[in-house]
A and B are shown apart, each in its own frame.
Chain A
Amino acid sequence: MSSFNSGRIPFINYFSVQSVKFLRLPLGQSMLFLRMALLLRVLLTNKSRINKQPHPVTGIEWKTLMTTNTIRFLHNDQLVELNNLDPNLTILQYLREEQHATGTKEGCASGDCGACTVVLAEPDGDKLSYKSVNSCIGFVGSLHGKQLITVEHLKDGDKLHPVQQSLVDNHGSQCGFCTPGFVMSAFALHKHNDSPNRAEVVEALAGNLCRCTGYRSIIDAAMTPTKDTAKDAFVKNTKKTIKQLNQITEPANLNGNNHQFYAPTNIKDLAKHLVDNPKSTLLAGGTDLALGVTQNLSTIEQLVYLGNVVELNQIEQTNTHIKLGAAVTYSRFTNLLGEQYPDLAQMIERIGSTQIRNSGTLGGNIGNASPIGDMPPAMIALNATMTLRKGEKTREIAVEDYFKDYKVTDLEKSEFIQDISIPKAQDGQHFKVYKVSKRIDDDISAVLASILIEIDGKKVKSVSMAFGGMAAIPKRAKACEKALLGKPWTQTNVDKAKKALAKDFQPMSDVRASDAYRMKVAQNLLQKCFIELQNRTIETRVANYA
């Protein structure tokens, strides 16, 4: 048996303003605190109070003005206020352990199986947008201002919701353990598409694993049109729900078991808070960060949630660039980038799952600095830049320059990623993105290749190439680029460039692939790019056969 290093994404606090030492706190108190908190909830009013007490263990002062120690959200149709709750609690733990709402299941507690899927609704004008998320890796504070919809609430009296009924009618459940998660993913899908085709169903449900059915019955069920959905209780309550949610405008604070959660609503407050509290851990989608808590049993002292910061959620476009706020989720930018770079959108549709893409952000994927993140190589090849901000000061750097070494970045203390600016496609440029993984959907890449190339006549006018999974950081293939730049675009030169890749990279073996496979595939992907540009009639992608 060969020796392999673990290929699991190391758990880090992405956006971390500096490395945070996790202190093992007497978490045993958490349950006690929780119970007290729930009691106190009845007694306490939402009076403002200032919390300037230093942390009893770390001595760190939490300097933000705590207007409240409350988060507010709708759970189904009930307004919920939570106080004094440990913000390390996940939504799933909150549901199952605090609310004893056990319809939502724990399959893996790592966002990989979808059994815990719940739906979050947020106002979008006069409508509600419904998104499926993994409750096992969402922190409870991120619910602030949203409607949390769980499987128990879908029935209308004794009548199953249409998405539930069609699963029954198509014999789409066997052991039933994954079923509530499938129901919630299908519910979210049907909320914006009541007659989805097979591809849409498969995309929406790719983050839900079923070990029993073989999926055919589930696909048929989810493809069953649900015109009746138009009349469900959620639609009837839309106005009321929006009104209730729009009333939740305050920044969220949650302080329990000596751990803090703060969700500022504007970038100024965020910037100031991080200068005042340099040991904060920034939370965006949390799709990686939460694994530290659920899998490694670590705790986070100070969580600062970016999801409610207006400026970080903005998308701006100029003639030449698309600027994405760091906290914009994949779901919101995929199509926009796809208009410029179809390959990129195709690749993004294979990052994680719909649940992950509804939570995960570009800022997070870059900030995380994982060598196997899929967006950084693409951003590097596209010569994207990013704005970093610390207090009132901002600076621009190339995404490429952000990555210094394994998990070491250019980010300073108290600094955070504000936005990422991506050049739009230019005539003559080709952008090829290839993601290679064991499983087509919801799998971490063995190799990710991004190639931006311009052929002028028969010569390579410009080329920019970056790879993931090939080094300790997402990295540009400079020797390979050099072997091509200005040279004729021929098989001979491509062969030379393939050899040059061995100078750029010395990949490692792990659970996802061997070093030899990674190198061979990286070289073959360059070959594939060559073939695709030489002869567009040749079929080269199995993923197109869906």
Chain B
Amino acid sequence: MRKLTDIQEQDLQTLGLGGVGKSKKHESADKHVSGEAIYIDDRPELRGQLHAAVGQSAYAHANIKNIDLTKVKKAKGVVAVITVADVPGHVDIGPVFPGDPVLAIDKVEYLGQPIFAVAATSYDLARRAVKLAKIEYEELEPVLCVKDALAKQNFVRPPFTMKRGDSDAAIEQAGNKLSGEMYIGGQEHFYLEGQVSTAEPTEDGGMVVFSSSQHPSEVQKLVAEVLAIPLNKVIVDTRRMGGGFGGKETQAAPWACIAALLARVSKKPVKFKLSRVDDMVMTGKRHPFYNTYEVGFNNKGMIKGINITVNGDCGYSPDLSDAIVDRAMFHSDNAYYLDNATVTGNRCKTNTVSHTAFRGFGGPQGMMTIERVMDDIARHLGKDPLQVRKVNLYGQDKRNETHYHQTVEHNNLDKLVTTLADTSDYKTRRKAVADFNAQSPILKKGLALTPLKFGISFTVQHLNQAGALVHIYTDGTISLNHGGTEMGQGLFTKVAQIVAEEFKVDVDTVGVSATRTDKVPNTSPTAASSGTDLNGKAAQNAAKTIKQRLIKFAIEHFSVNKEAVKFANSQVTVGEQTFAFGEFVQLAYMNRVSLSSTGYYKTPKIHFDRATAKGRPFFYFANGAAVSEVIIDTLTGEYKLLRTDILQDVGTSLNPAIDIGQLEGGFIQGVGWLTTEELMWNDKGRLLSNNPATYKIPAISDAPPEFRVDLMPDDPNREHTVYNSKAVGEPPLMLAISVWSALRDAVSSLSGYKLSPTLDTPATPEKVLWAVEEMNAIQRLKE
């Protein structure tokens, strides 16, 4: 640079310094509302761009006898057609373990599995062309439910057990014993933007891929592998996703790989956008689970021993199921001390799409069992479920070790539950609900408070690392890049706030940029609620490096000591002199100070030994509690959520508005999972709930009219996370268990709170009605 840019005069009055702790609006908010935010399908099409579609399996389990693609190849607009035989490199794109062929190899293992792919001149023509294939199959017997898979010991990965004490003996000696089983339904992600990738061949035989992915580095690796080219020839770019929720952690990659394979063959850019139905059929969902338990407890309701088996329906391949079922096992305690516990996890293989990550990553399915146990114990002993829950909460110094032998530290569970019970008038409302139910023969109300303790960190240790890249330009503006992806959760906003805080500049001068594998390499997925913890720290470290250089420069240049250099209000003060930040940056540049740095972070303290099932898999726990009130119609099973109060521990909030948005959104997503979102396959393995007309996520009227969400005040994270904040992405989903428990409470009222009704999830109106009928039938028997 020969001549430096003019520094814009800044009005300090209106500057509104961003930084952490403020409810800064989402970095793209203005673009969202004006339609100016660019998603992958909105990108201008390149010259000659083609569109992809795949031909899908018609059977859930079959050998492929013959594939005749003659008509497909001749179809209007078709430019390229590939099968697995046309893949030059790896044919298996399983993210952790093998088992996911990019296109079917000789057999199909779920209905809808991609067998071949076409690139055509339009989206419409590509979709039409794939229907012309003639494929001969030899049908095989499919396994379509988790109990069948269990009976046949049909597993994608071996079973695993965590154990503390002698649970069998403790159950026998406890005085009271209960057992039960429950089905917990899966969940379609229903990100509003479906899966989409664009692949553009580069001049050196590589590929630039624009992918709506939570894990660009994995897309990069898999694209390189299927193409048999080195990783440095593939660049993956993700500016933003229209929602991810875990559904784009591993399962964005297949579509990018297929687009890249077609781009390689056709030598043209190829876009692969899944239609909503195809997306719902061909991408995995939250794992359905079938869980069983037997529990022993004393007359106070305190658990003395418990055996829990969680059986995850993994679909046809391992994908992330090993870690997901692990997390279900890790969270089988939720917030409660289990004393003597044996928790076993099975990874069942069925002939359905391969189920995958979804907000909570198995944790929610694990917690459902113990929350059911709490209600069941309460009904058995004739106690208020809240009383039983409180009795079982983890203790401070005693009763504070989990079934995987991690000590529960910074335990504010009792404080959260007590405070929330207080602020939500639990006691008064418990009575009001009883009074209402006494005078209302058809409609019944239910109330429940459930706590939450969610472990933060990837349970796969090496993923707990992150990188960032920060540049300062000579006008004082900052460019920020890191390995995390933006899917709506506000990660880019929070990390920009952290960098702004380091330099004490206006957050609007920190420009965020698309996640790109050529800027920050070897990144982890944006998942496990860890986006800000990891990338925020990495970016902070990068900023600190530059800041230290600036300080060192000031000390040397102005011959002052360290204390004389201060960053505040977008200014740098050195002794008596004050510079606008940009001005000071120019001075540093002219004196040849590097204004760019990478930053790196890895989570400390964590370890887990799978051989002994002992360790500290989680850096810390994010805790919370919710109380929900519902009303049900005992004639139809219909219900409404009337009010929810949430109190969540987010440590010191980096951005209260974003955190509250995560809590509200996660909660409602959890409500959908447990109530109206019903996945249904027929006896051939065909997904029937394959569009939004048949699969019902919460609509606006499903948000409770009274929805009070608070952040736990004055309780910074005791661990050294970025500004002592806590993760917030996944935990609130599990607060929705309060709604399910409240529905059971309403149904249980029909038995005078003596019986605990069967209420598998999703608790659709139909299931609620059957629960009501169960209560009525037992009452009739008694009469």
Contacts and interface: CB of A to CB of B under 8 A. Distances in A.
A81 interface: no
A545 B38 CA distance: 39
Interface string B253-284: 00000000000000000000001110000000
A12 to B, nearest CB: 15
A27 B661 contact: no
Contacts of A150: 35
A107 B192 contact: yes
A7 B635 contact: no
Interface string A171-188: 101111111100100000
Nearest to B630: A542
B448 to A, nearest CB: 17
A104 B145 CA distance: 40
A543 interface: yes
Interface in A440-466: 440-444, 446
A110 B42 CA distance: 19
A344 to B, nearest CB: 18
Interface stretch (B199-207, B225-233, B379-387, B761-769): B761-769
Which bracket fits the contact residues of A?
A: 35 or more
B676 A206 contact: no
Interface stretch (A151-159, A246-254, A263-271, A407-415): A151-159
A206 B701 CA distance: 7
Contact of A155 (B29, B34, B240): B34
B485 to A, nearest CB: 11
Contact of B688 (A6, A96, A212): A6
A541 interface: yes
B242 interface: yes
Contacts of A231: none
Do most interface residues of chain B lie in helix, strand or loop, or is the interface mixed? loop
Interface stretch (A138-146, A390-398, A467-475, A508-516): A508-516
A31 B640 contact: no
A250 to B, nearest CB: 30
Interface in A1-50: 1-9, 24, 26-31
B640 A543 contact: yes
A372 to B, nearest CB: 11
B42 A213 contact: no
Contact of A100 (B44, B145, B490): B44
User: A104, A179, A219: which has the most chain B beta carbons within 10 Å?
Assistant: A179
Which bracket fits the contact residues of B?
A: 35 or more
Contacts of A108: 276, 691-692
A525 B636 contact: yes
B245 A511 contact: no
A164 B661 contact: no
B640 A209 contact: no
B247 to A, nearest CB: 10
Contact of A202 (B639, B692, B701): B701
A374 interface: no
A234 to B, nearest CB: 16
A517 B769 contact: yes
Contacts of A546: 640, 701, 705
B701 A1 contact: no
B669 interface: yes
Contacts of A218: 700
Given A171-B25, A174-B490, A217 B192 contact: no
Contacts of B727: none
B524 interface: no
A538 B436 CA distance: 11
B699 A439 contact: yes
Given A171-B26, A440-B640, A545-B631, A115 B35 contact: no
A489 to B, nearest CB: 18
Interface stretch (B365-373, B437-445, B539-547, B604-612): B437-445
B636 A436 contact: yes
A211 B442 contact: no
B124 A531 contact: no
Contact of B33 (A160, A443, A525): A160
Given A7-B694, A27-B124, A152 B41 contact: no
B35 A26 contact: no
A167 B37 CA distance: 15
Interface in A366-399: none
Contacts of B276: 107-110
A30 B121 CA distance: 11
A214 B668 contact: yes
B676 A214 contact: no
Contacts of A511: 678, 680, 688-689, 694
A4 B667 contact: no
Interface in A503-542: 510-514, 517, 520-521, 524-525, 527-528, 531, 538-542
B638 A440 contact: yes
A176 B245 contact: no
A215 interface: yes
A22 to B, nearest CB: 12
A69 interface: no
A541 B635 CA distance: 10
Given A28-B125, A115-B192, A542 B701 contact: no
B682 interface: yes
A178 B637 CA distance: 30
Given A28-B76, A112-B693, A543-B638, A105 B680 contact: no
B28 interface: yes
B128 interface: yes
A326 B102 CA distance: 51
A540 B635 contact: yes
A207 B691 CA distance: 15
B729 to A, nearest CB: 11
A175 B487 contact: yes
A236 interface: no
A97 B572 CA distance: 50
A539 B689 contact: no
A270 B42 CA distance: 40
B31 A176 contact: yes
A295 interface: yes
A205 interface: yes
Nearest to A434: B636
Given A105-B193, A176-B31, A527-B635, A214 B701 contact: no
B192 A436 contact: no
Contact of A30 (B124, B241, B660): B124
Contacts of A206: 699-701
B761 to A, nearest CB: 13
Contacts of B34: 103, 151-152, 154-155, 160, 164, 180
Given A31-B122, A176-B31, A439-B702, A542 B640 contact: yes
B248 to A, nearest CB: 11
A110 B692 contact: yes
Contact of B696 (A216, A439, A538): A439
Interface of A: 1-9, 24, 26-31, 96, 100, 102-110, 112-113, 115, 150-152, 154-155, 160, 164-165, 167-169, 171, 173-180, 183, 198, 201-202, 205-219, 295, 297, 434, 436-444, 446, 510-514, 517, 520-521, 524-525, 527-528, 531, 538-543, 545-546
Interface of B: 23, 25-26, 28-39, 41-42, 44, 75-77, 121-122, 124-125, 127-128, 131, 144-145, 189-194, 240-245, 275-277, 440-443, 487-490, 631-633, 635-640, 642, 657-658, 660-661, 663-669, 676, 678, 680-683, 688-689, 691-694, 696-703, 705, 707, 709, 764-766, 769-770, 773
Of all A-B residue pairs in the complex, the 10 with the closest CB atoms, nearest first, are: A103-B35, A175-B488, A28-B76, A177-B242, A176-B32, A214-B664, A174-B488, A112-B692, A214-B668, A102-B42
18 contacts: A107-B192, A171-B23, A171-B25, A171-B26, A173-B29, A174-B490, A174-B661, A175-B243, A177-B39, A180-B35, A202-B700, A212-B243, A212-B665, A215-B668, A297-B127, A528-B442, A542-B631, A542-B640
Given A209-B192, A436-B638, 9 more contacts: A8-B693, A168-B30, A175-B240, A201-B700, A219-B703, A441-B699, A510-B688, A521-B637, A546-B640
